[in-house]
Amino acid sequence: MRSALVNYVGTENKFEGVIQRWSHYFEPNSGKTIATVVIEDVRDSEGTPITNHAWLKVNKNLLKIRKDSNIGDKIKFEAYVTDYSKKGGFRDYGFMDVKDVVRVREDLIIEDDLEQSVINLYKANCTYKEIERMLGVYTDKIKRIVRQNDDMGFEQKALLTTVMNLSNRGFKVKDISEITGLSVATVYTYLPIKKSA
């Protein structure tokens, strides 16, 4: 079934799959232990089945979702597809340079109700980029939906919480700006003023 990946070799595409287990293997050539995650029911951005399972090397993009994810959670990601030789000379296909990884919060997504899904995800402190990846809508539309439904001020509260959480996790202002879609100047207004010693 993984042979369907041959159509994607040499290109970067969007995919989704379900976390089956976190694992690792020993690489004899380098002497390093490599962390991996096995995903099942891998599909392309159109929902077409690609392979029943795949192994992804854990990089910083996958590490970001590891602590918040469980077995059975769906993830969406972008990756470069490559071919390689297995032991015995067999050809196989896999993913490299996995990025833009997001855990799909299916518990908060309501089928056929985009507006409520956006509001639910936003109230759960998902960033604009995360919502965009989960729902497949542009950030501008997400912002418009949030503003139209901001009768209780949850947009400001959620933004403040998101900015503070990212700052506490060591993200720089420029990174926070990119993740949240806010300008650098706006990010600074959310951060507490640091007193110089």
Distances 29 to 33, 34, 95, 173 between C-alpha atoms, Å: 11, 12, 20, 39
Q: Which CATH architecture has domain 2-104?
A: Beta Barrel (2.40)
Structure confidence by residue, pLDDT tens digits, 93-147? 889 999 999 999 988 999 899 999 998 898 888 888 889 989 988 888 998 888 8
pLDDT at residue 70, rounded to an integer: 87
Domain boundaries, the chain: 2-104, 106-190
pLDDT of residue 154: 63
Residue 19: how many CB atoms within 10 A of its CB? Answer: 21
